[in-house]
């Protein structure tokens, strides 16, 4: 007995050792087999980081796990991702490992974990999932099976925590499945068997630009009879849940070589009106378990026919409810008199013949009743819409009867009596003459508040009249914060705005007693990354407020507004009697012929402001006329930056400005971004040096003048500015008869570099300097004018002043020397004139040789000569020589 146990123990140990060692033996074989099979059968780039083989994970089956699998398309979808998966798991019998590399291997179980599948069909009908390489050597079905490498005799398969995107560009259809979990248990090795499936997912479905499902929760439990030989799948026991709406269905799907046949019927298992609430997304419907309901709600339909390139199944789907009502237990009001008669019909199997009708759709809250009916035909091509609306809604009652989680608070009475019919081609092509609308709509005592806006918006009345494609607004009265608006005008494309992506177009006349820009600042939002690092969809990136406020020009507006406002409040400014035209288009406001009174003068401007980019920008031409200097410069930071010295001025200013740059969120300019130029003129001005440290210190340094006596009337200069720096063209003004020239530059940070040149009498340089120079020149130069350079640096609040006296003395010395030179030149000219006069009064006697006289005289005997005499004598000698040479005749006799 002991021997037998020992042998059994050794056997078990050997088996365990084999189970542990076998993966290392077969792993390379499996990996080579997988790669060979992929390369032989798939036209795509398939990669995986590693392959694992285990006998313990699902003993006695062998388990093959592929890690980090990716499938990238080749042309015509070069580089596109077809599929990604963290893990692909295959289970098979151990005996499959001992088959030759050319023999197919049977897979019993398949699992796909944390996968993303991206299916795309382009406008030409090319599908990115069509990656199988056709085996041209296979002649029979058996050959095809044996050459495929794997045969899926599945007993169970799973797709866990995965996503699937399907986009068909040709049919304009998009399907997105999130949180997809699906599993099926059956036997695919049999010709006929039953497959038991369970599926849950969040479904988003768009068709031809219209969203029909948005992350709706869908669940399906279905038992399917599989006839694999005839490719026929029959639904036996089935129940689906769309949000919380239950549906049961039966029928079959037949897969043929050229088409598919569908014969399905479905219905709600009960007629309770809670079924209607269950259709609404769960986050809006909330908990419907305790809702009191009366009446019925029934959904039933038939989908039957052939699906191929030209046909769809015929369908007859009905949604109906009669005299129903519901009331949520925690809300004070109920919704009553609910009637619904909705049909989706296709009687021919042609896509274009699908249409929707809705008749007698009504509901009532308190005494307010609203009704609608109409139809939508030709869904796939040029959609035809007929719509009738009639009734009244008290907006405040909606939240009293239905649990909406709305951050905004709505109140007001909406009334409509409207009939309209149109085709979508006319709307898209803006052919509004083909729109047939008539009726009226109005809203009274409307109020709207939201955390995103600073003040409640109130509309006391607004009326709309519909006539053909035009909508007139005879009157709209609105207030918010300090702002009041009375408007009238017309809307050119209301249907285009409501039913397509067109911007809202119109023309309006707006009058306002007070218009405050701050009343229209909204809390700005930004996209923040999802905490889940694996989240990649847009839904996983919620918008969050940044805490800043910004004026945003709506992208959906394309309107022209002529406005007249008695008072406009902008930042800390108050503009009066403001008129002009503003065009709102492409997130840009274009201002035309805008005029206003401000700072005891007037302002005119043309330009634009754009909020299209993250940083708002502007370009503006301004004409400022007769503005009070002190008021305007104390109130406008931009003017302070352009001319800081104006803080010390009292008077009137006129200037033209051309500038552009970036804006802050509150629409004030970012000073460092400004670029442009200006022509400024001071009409009248008095100066107070005590108001500006620069002028006060300069007044102390220049003791010989009083800056209070500066004459700045009609002073003109040009400014250019860019990159936070202001260049001032040279300009002149007078102080007590002294001409002053100023030029230079400063930065918006108040650093400066200016040169000031004063033409001052020499006596202002000091008596010692003036006397010393006078001794050198032998003249009195006290009243001579001399240039005194002054350099200004540092900042306007802490200036550095450098009076260049040395340069002034040098300038004076040079000026004296120039005068002496001019005198000498004049005396030389006078001497020449004297010589010329003497020549005319003398005979033709030969002038004496000056050297002869010099030869008889000693140096001590030579009398001293002044500079003037020397000049005169030199001039005479030079001129005399010239004249003698010119008058001496040539001796032609040879003597």
**Tokens encoding 385:** 């819409």
Give dist(CA 746, CA 671) in Å, integer. 13
Helices (H), 438-590: 494-499
Token pair in block for residue 29: 């074989």
Rounded distance between C-alpha atoms, residue 235 and residue 251, angstroms: 6
Distance CA 22, CA 270 (A): 58
pLDDT the model gives residue 201: 93
- What is the average pLDDT across 6-24? 41
Q: Output the pLDDT for position 595.
A: 92
User: Which pLDDT score is estimated for 531?
Assistant: 40
According to the model, what pLDDT value does residue 154 have? 75
Mean pLDDT, rounded, for 233-247: 85
Q: What pLDDT does residue 857 have?
A: 41
Q: DSSP letter at 795?
A: B
Longest alpha-carbon distance in the chain: 174
Q: According to the model, what pLDDT value does residue 870 have?
A: 42
Residue 737 and residue 757: Cα distance in Å, rounded?
14
What does the alpha-carbon distance between residue 886 and residue 410 come to, in Å, rounded to a whole number?
113
pLDDT value at 815 more than 60: yes
What is the mean pLDDT of the segment spanning 862-890? 41
pLDDT value at residue 598? 87
What proportion of the chain, given as a percentage, has pLDDT over 70?
A: 74
288: its two tokens: 């419907």
More confident residue, 847 or 669: 669
Q: How many CB atoms lie within 10 A of CB 297?
A: 25
Report the distance separating Cα 366 and Cα 333, nearest Å: 8
Residue 813 CA, chain-centre distance (Å), reads: 66
Instruction: Read off the pLDDT of each residue in 590-598 and give the average, rounded to a whole number.
Output: 90
pLDDT of res. 10 = 39
Helix intervals (H) in 599-748: 629-635, 637-642, 693-701
CA 306, 312, 315 angle in degrees (round to 5)?
95
Average pLDDT over residues 836-860: 48
- What whole-number distance in Å separates Cα of residue 105 and Cα of residue 95? 9
Q: Are 637 and 671 in contact (CB under 8 A)?
A: yes
- Pair 747, 696: CB distance under 8 Å: no
Coil vs helix vs strand at 669: strand
pLDDT at 160: 94
pLDDT band at 836 (very low <50, low <70, confident <90, very high): low
Neighbours of 669 (CB within 10 A): 19
Indicate whether 294 pLDDT > 60. Answer: yes
pLDDT at 808: 73
pLDDT in tens, 753-765: 888 888 877 776 6
Bridge partners for 234 per DSSP: 225, 252
- pLDDT above 60 (res 182): yes
Residues 801 and 756: beta-carbon distance below 8 Å: no
If one compares 718 and 637, the residue with the highest pLDDT of the two is 718
* pLDDT at position 146: 42
Which residues have a Cβ under 8 Å from the Cβ of 827 and sit 6 or more positions away?
868, 871, 872
pLDDT at 544: 46
- Check whether 538 has a pLDDT greater than 60: no
pLDDT band at 820 (very low <50, low <70, confident <90, very high): low
Phi-psi region of 226 (alpha: psi -120 to 50; beta: other; left: phi over 0): beta
Q: What is the mean pLDDT of the chain?
A: 77
Q: Which residues contact residue 479 at a Cβ distance below 8 angstroms, ignoring those fewer than 6 apart? A: 457, 458, 460, 485
Report for 250-254, 493-497, 531-535, 784-788: range of highest mean pLDDT? 250-254
Look at residue 16 in the predicted model and tell me its pLDDT.
41
In the chain, what are the domain boundaries? 7-137+144-171, 407-527+544-551, 599-710
Position with higher pLDDT, 410 vs 383: 383
Question: Helix, strand or coil for residue 721?
Answer: strand
Cα–Cα distance, 371 to 416 (Å, whole number): 10
Which pair of structure tokens corresponds to residue 837?
């006069």
pLDDT for 878: 33
The values of phi and psi at residue 535, to 5°, are -75, 130
Most confident of 11-15, 667-671, 760-764, 836-840: 667-671
Count of CB atoms within 10 A of residue 893's CB? Answer: 4
Q: Is the pLDDT of residue 357 over 90?
A: yes
The residue among 517 and 23 whose pLDDT is bigger is 517
Q: What is the Cα–Cα distance from 216 to 206, expressed in whole angstroms?
A: 12
Pick from 30-39, 124-133, 591-600, 819-828 the range whose average pLDDT is largest: 591-600
Residues 123-172 pLDDT 10s: 888 888 888 776 555 544 444 444 445 555 678 889 999 999 999 887 77
Global confidence as pTM: 0.58
Q: What is the pLDDT of residue 284?
A: 62
**Res 530: pLDDT:** 39
């Amino acid at each position: 007995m002991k021997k037998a146990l020992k042998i059994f123990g050794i056997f078990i140990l050997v088996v365990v050792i084999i189970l542990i060692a076998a993966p290392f033996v077969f792993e390379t074989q499996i990996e080579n087999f997988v790669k060979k099979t992929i390369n032989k059968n798939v036209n795509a780039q398939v990669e995986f980081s590693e392959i694992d083989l285990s006998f313990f994970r699902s003993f006695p089956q062998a388990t093959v796990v592929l890690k980090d699998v990716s499938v990238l398309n080749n042309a015509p979808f070069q580089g596109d991702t077809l599929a990604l998966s963290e893990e692909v798991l295959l289970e098979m019998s151990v005996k499959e490992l001992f088959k030759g590399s050319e023999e197919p291997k049977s897979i019993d179980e398949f699992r796909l974990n944390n996968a993303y599948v991206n299916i795309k069909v382009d406008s030409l009908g090319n599908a990115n999932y069509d990656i199988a390489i056709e085996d041209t050597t296979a002649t029979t079905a058996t050959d095809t099976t044996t050459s495929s490498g794997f045969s899926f005799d599945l007993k169970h398969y799973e797709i866990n925590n995965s996503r699937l995107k399907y986009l068909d560009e040709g049919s304009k259809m998009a399907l997105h499945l999130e949180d997809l979990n699906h599993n099926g248990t059956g036997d695919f090795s049999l010709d006929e068997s039953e497959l038991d499936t369970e599926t849950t997912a969040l479904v988003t479905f768009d068709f031809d630009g219209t969203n029909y499902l948005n992350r709706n929760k869908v669940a399906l439990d279905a038992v399917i009879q599989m006839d694999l030989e005839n490719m026929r799948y029959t639904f036996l026991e089935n129940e689906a849940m769309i949000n919380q709406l239950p549906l049961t269905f039966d029928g079959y799907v037949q897969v043929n070589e050229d088409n598919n046949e569908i014969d399905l019927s479905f219905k709600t298992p009960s007629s309770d009106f809670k079924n209607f609430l269950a259709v609404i997304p769960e986050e809006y419907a909330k908990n419907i378990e305790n809702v009191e309901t009366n009446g019925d709600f029934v959904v039933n339909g038939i989908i039957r026919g052939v699906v191929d390139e030209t046909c769809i199944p015929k369908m007859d789907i009905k949604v109906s409810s009669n005299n129903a009502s519901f009331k949520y237990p925690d809300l004070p009001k109920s919704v009553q008199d609910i009637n619904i008669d909705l049909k989706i019909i296709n009687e021919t199997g042609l896509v274009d013949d699908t249409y929707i009708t809705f008749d007698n759709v009504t509901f009532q809250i308190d005494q307010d009743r609203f009704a609608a009916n109409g139809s939508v035909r030709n869904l796939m091509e040029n959609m035809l819409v007929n719509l009738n609306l009639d009734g009244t809604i008290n907006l405040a009652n909606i939240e009293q009867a239905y649990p909406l989680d709305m951050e905004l608070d709505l109140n007001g009475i909406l009334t409509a009596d409207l009939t309209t019919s149109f085709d979508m081609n006319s709307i898209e092509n803006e052919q509004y003459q083909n729109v047939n609308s008539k009726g009226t709509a109005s809203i009274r005592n409307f109020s709207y508040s939201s955390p995103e806006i600073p003040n409640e918006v109130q509309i006391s009345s607004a009326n709309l009249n519909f006539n053909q494609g035009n909508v007139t607004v005879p009157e709209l009265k609105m207030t918010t914060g300090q702002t009041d608006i009375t408007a009238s005008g017309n809307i050119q494309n209301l249907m285009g705005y409501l039913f397509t992506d067109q911007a809202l177009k119109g023309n309006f006349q707006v009058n306002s007693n007070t218009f405050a820009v701050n009343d229209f600042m909204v809390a700005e939002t930004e996209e923040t990354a999802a905490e889940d690092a694996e989240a990649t969809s847009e839904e996983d990136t919620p918008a969050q407020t940044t805490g800043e406020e910004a004026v945003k020009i709506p992208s959906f507006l394309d309107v022209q507004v002529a406005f007249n406002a008695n008072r406009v409040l902008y930042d800390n400014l108050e503009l009066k009697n403001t008129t002009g035209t503003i065009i709102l288009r492409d997130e840009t406001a274009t201002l035309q012929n805008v005029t206003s009174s401000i700072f005891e003068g007037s302002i005119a401007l043309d330009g634009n402001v754009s909020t299209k980019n993250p940083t708002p920008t502007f370009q503006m031409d301004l004409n400022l006329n007769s503005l009070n200097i002190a008021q305007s410069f104390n109130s406008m930071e931009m003017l302070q930056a352009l001319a800081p010295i104006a803080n010390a001025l009292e008077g009137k200013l006129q200037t033209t400005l051309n500038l552009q740059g970036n804006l802050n969120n509150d629409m004030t300019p970012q000073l460092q971004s400004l670029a442009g130029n200006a022509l400024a003129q001071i009409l009248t001005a008095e100066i107070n040096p005590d108001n500006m440290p620069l002028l006060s210190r300069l007044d102390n340094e220049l003791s010989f003048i009083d800056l209070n006596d500066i004459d700045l009337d009609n002073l003109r200069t040009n400014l250019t500015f860019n990159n936070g720096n202001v260049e001032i063209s040279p300009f002149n003004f007078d102080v007590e008869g002294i001409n002053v020239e100023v030029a230079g530059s400063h930065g918006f940070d108040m650093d400066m570099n200016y040169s000031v040149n004063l033409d001052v009498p020499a006596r202002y340089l000091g008596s010692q300097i003036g006397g010393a120079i006078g001794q050198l020149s032998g003249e009195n130069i006290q009243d001579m004018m001399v240039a005194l350079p002054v350099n200004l640096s540092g900042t306007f609040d802490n200036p550095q002043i450098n009076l260049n006296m040395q340069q002034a003395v040098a300038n004076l010395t040079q000026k004296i020397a120039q005068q002496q030179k001019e005198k000498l030149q004049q005396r030389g000219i006078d001497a020449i004139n004297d010589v010329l006069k003497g020549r005319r009064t003398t005979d033709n006697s030969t002038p004496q040789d000056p050297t002869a006289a010099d030869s008889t005289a000693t140096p001590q005997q030579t009398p001293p000569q002044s500079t003037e005499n020397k000049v005169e004598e030199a001039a005479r000698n030079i001129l005399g020589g010239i004249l003698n040479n010119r008058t001496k005749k040539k001796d032609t006799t040879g003597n």
